[in-house]
Structure 1
Amino acid sequence: MIKKLTLLVALSLPLGLIPEQAVSAELSQYTAGRVQRAHNLQQDEKLGEAIEMLEGLNPSRAYDKAYVQRMLGVFYWQQDNTAKAIANLTDAVNSGLLQDEQAWVTQRMLADILLSSEQFKQALPHYYALSKNIPENQKADELWLRIAQSHYQISEWQQTLSAINSYVKYAGKLDVQPLTIKLGAQLQLKQWKASLPTLESLIALEPNKLVWWQQTAGIQLRLGQSKSALDTLALARRQGVELTQQDLKTLAQLYAQRGIPERAAILYSQLDDADSDVELIVLQAQYWQIAKEWDKSIAVWHKAAALNNKYRWPLAQLLLQQGYYQKAIAELDKVKDKDHEADVALAKVRAYYKLDNLEKAIIFAKQADNIESTTASKSWIKYLSQKREMAS
């Protein structure tokens, strides 16, 4: 893009386009004639011949030499010979003999070529020299944008921001490109708070671009503004921006932190692997459980248990809590985890007790006590034995 802009500048230069009589007052008659012939060849798309003619000149007058070097610089650039274009334009500019507006445009072209060739440090002195005296028919905002780009490319972040501020003075507002440069510099300088208004402006210009929403939420989280981060991601989603799977997970976590676990559960249920990734299924079950949506949580725990038997235990606990005793026993029978062996036996005690089956309740109370004698197992044995005696 920079190269195309530079070429437009080059083609706008009045080099060789001035009739011979108009330049004869400054150029020698011989040089003026050759310059005109070279221009005609260039116009006839005989660029190589035009360059050869100018290269054959060896003007004795310093001004003639500078003028020819400038013209060669333009022609070499049109020929995509960047090195020779830079060399000739540098000599022409450094001569100091081109004092009219053509001189300003020539130096601007040299700076632009250096920029497009990624010679940023070399371009900057030319741009700053140009900024001191900008002709009325030239765009000052474009010049300062080039300066900002050059500083950005060599990681001079504070100078980048200064150049963008100068750009605003002339442009009046920032569009996407300068805003992006400004944002990049702010992030490199860790100016987190200052970067948020920049991102707001980018979102206003490109509301469907995901990265602006992501960066806004990320910075808000960095600043401890979790509520704002939630609002940012939620708004992006409402406006039809397609969030990534990780963005949706982050949003779900933010809903949970904000005390809205049911929204977290719904978001997890809408992820791509929501029915096959056991970790995602467990999160859904847990958030439904936190939301006290017991039956929804049970249904999801069933899915998790079908994929991994270790989730039989939380499923059985919830079934027991909700009074589904027979279903709880069926799931407890399938728990194979040795770490929960005593707990499973005690859970069965409670289930059978609720089902008024004292005999089985006592059996599992003794079993639990044999596995690991605890205050709970002993209490159950004592209590159930008394109940049985009373009943008999």
Structure 2
Amino acid sequence: MLRWLVLLCLLSASALAQEIDAEVYVAIQGATEAEATGDLSKARQLLEAALPQAGNGSLERALVTQRLAYIAIANQRNTQAIDWLREALAQQQLEDAAALQDRQNLARLLVQEQRYPEAVKELEVLPRSDNNRQLLVQAYRQLGQFRKAIPLAEQVVREKPAADDIWYRLLVGMNYELERFDQAVRWQQALLQRAPESADNWRQLASMQSLAGEQVAAAATLRLAREAGIELETTDLENLIALHAHSGAPWQAARLMQALLDEGLLSSSADRLRRLAYLWQSARDYEPALAAWERVARSGNSTDRLQLAWLQYQQRQWQAALATLQAVQPANASQRRQLQSLKQAAEAALARSESGSASSS
């Protein structure tokens, strides 16, 4: 909860009694006592009752509305708190230090309530402390104003290389959103150097490298992580592949999976090879897709051999398709129909090809 006893920053109790209306002073004192006992409801009632005696533009109204704002924050009523803080500041009666703190709290509340345009207006005129700059970067990011957000975050880490990790994470995240994956890799590498014991940092770096088209480097990163004693489960590697596949990047998923298999980080099981084949095929990279299906088909599975033959047929490799079909032993009526249909189509296509070659010669 935000600290709201800002009256202590303004005036001593005796000075306060001389500065403001006696009835308002009594209400403020009563509210202070109620707050001390945790009775925020009573404190709010006392302050609201004093509002009619606190005229616009007065110190009384500034103090009462300010106190009401922080009671609203304590009750997690941020919208009310925003309104009260604005009213307190509008009186222009608070001392500079108190007004500055109120404006900073107002900006934070606006960010929390996702009122980003309003937050930006407040933050752009506040002193550029680290906290204020962080809020401003977050607000710019939410508004899609990356041209303002990224330079500001980069300025912070240039000035203070030891700045909190949040700045580096913001830079990773914003560059990721812009699909500037090479820059995301750069900032994720900085995070990894700060905390090489973090498995998340290794996984994130490998993910960014893969998104940047550096699948071999991503696999090498994961291998180095294991060599460094970082515990990476097989599911971690599988999830990384799935991330690309589900985001509509089957080529990157296939290339990453191939690199992980080549590094020995994943074993070459029939299920994984089958998945690799489908990924290459989804990416329309048919040469490695055929190679993967040929490896899978060696297991003798009729479904896999039919899939290989179909892909060979699609790639106009009719002789190879017919040879593959010769080894298929249908397991049911459906496979027999598929086999017969594909065989007839391949034979007809091969005959047309040979006929065309003979006539042209």
SS in 2 for 1:269: coil
Q: Corresponding residue for 2:200?
A: 208
1:42-191 correspondence to structure 2 within 5 Å:
42-57=35-50, 58-60=53-55, 62-131=58-127, 140-168=129-157, 172-189=161-178, 191=180
Question: Alignment identity in percent?
Answer: 17
1:1-392 correspondence to structure 2 within 5 Å:
7-8=1-2, 10-11=3-4, 13-14=6-7, 20-24=13-17, 26-57=19-50, 58-60=53-55, 62-131=58-127, 140-168=129-157, 172-189=161-178, 191-204=180-193, 205=195, 206-209=198-201, 210-219=203-212, 221=213, 228-239=214-225, 240=232, 242-243=236-237, 244=239, 245-246=241-242, 250=252, 253=255, 263=262, 269-270=268-269, 272=271, 274=273, 300-305=297-302, 307-309=304-306, 331=327, 337-338=343-344
Task: Assess if the C-alpha contact under 8 Å between 1:176 and 1:202 holds in 2.
Answer: yes
For residues 28-76 of structure 1, the C-alpha deviation after alignment (integer angstroms, 9 at most, x for no partner) is: 4443332121111111122111111111112247112111111111112
Q: Corresponding residue for 1:323?
A: none
Distance 1:312 1:266, change over 3 A: farther
Deviation at 1:117, TM superposition (A): 1.2
Q: Which amino acid aligns with 1:186?
A: N
Unaligned runs of 5+ in 1: 1-6, 133-139, 222-227, 292-296, 315-327, 345-367, 377-392
SS in 1 for 2:186: helix
Q: Which amino acid aligns with 1:69?
A: T
Alpha-carbon distance in 1 for matches of 2:279, 2:137: 46
Alpha-carbon distance in 1 for matches of 2:87, 2:27: 20
Distance 1:24 1:341, change over 3 A: same
TM-score, normalized by length of structure 1? 0.61
Q: Which amino acid aligns with 1:208?
A: D
Alpha-carbon distance in 2 for matches of 1:45, 1:272: 62
Distance 1:26 1:254, change over 3 A: same
For residues 269-299 of structure 1, the C-alpha deviation after alignment (integer angstroms, 9 at most, x for no partner) is: 24745579985899xxx97x979xxxxx789
Deviation at 1:145, TM superposition (A): 0.5
Alpha-carbon distance in 2 for matches of 1:88, 1:200: 44
Deviation at 1:307, TM superposition (A): 4.6
Deviation at 1:147, TM superposition (A): 1.0
Deviation at 1:308, TM superposition (A): 3.7
Q: Which amino acid aligns with 2:77?
A: N
Q: Which amino acid aligns with 2:24?
A: T
Alpha-carbon distance in 2 for matches of 1:14, 1:273: 67
Alpha-carbon distance in 2 for matches of 1:87, 1:184: 32
Q: Which amino acid aligns with 1:103?
A: A
Task: Assess if the C-alpha contact under 8 Å between 1:34 and 1:53 holds in 2.
Answer: yes
SS in 2 for 1:129: coil
Distance 1:172 1:24, change over 3 A: farther
SS in 2 for 1:24: helix
Alpha-carbon distance in 1 for matches of 2:30, 2:149: 44
Alpha-carbon distance in 1 for matches of 2:63, 2:306: 85
Q: Which amino acid aligns with 1:70?
A: Q
Q: Which amino acid aligns with 2:148?
A: Q
Distance 1:251 1:26, change over 3 A: same
Task: Assess if the C-alpha contact under 8 Å between 2:70 and 2:81 holds in 1.
Answer: yes
Task: Assess if the C-alpha contact under 8 Å between 1:233 and 1:251 holds in 2.
Answer: no
Alpha-carbon distance in 2 for matches of 1:154, 1:333: 60
Deviation at 1:164, TM superposition (A): 1.6
SS in 2 for 1:21: helix
TM-score, normalized by length of structure 2? 0.66
Alpha-carbon distance in 1 for matches of 2:166, 2:297: 48
Unaligned runs of 5+ in 2: 226-231, 282-286, 313-323, 331-338
Which of structures 1 and 2 has the bigger CA Rg?
1
- Alignment RMSD: 4.8
Distance 1:13 1:341, change over 3 A: same
Task: Assess if the C-alpha contact under 8 Å between 1:127 and 1:147 holds in 2.
Answer: yes
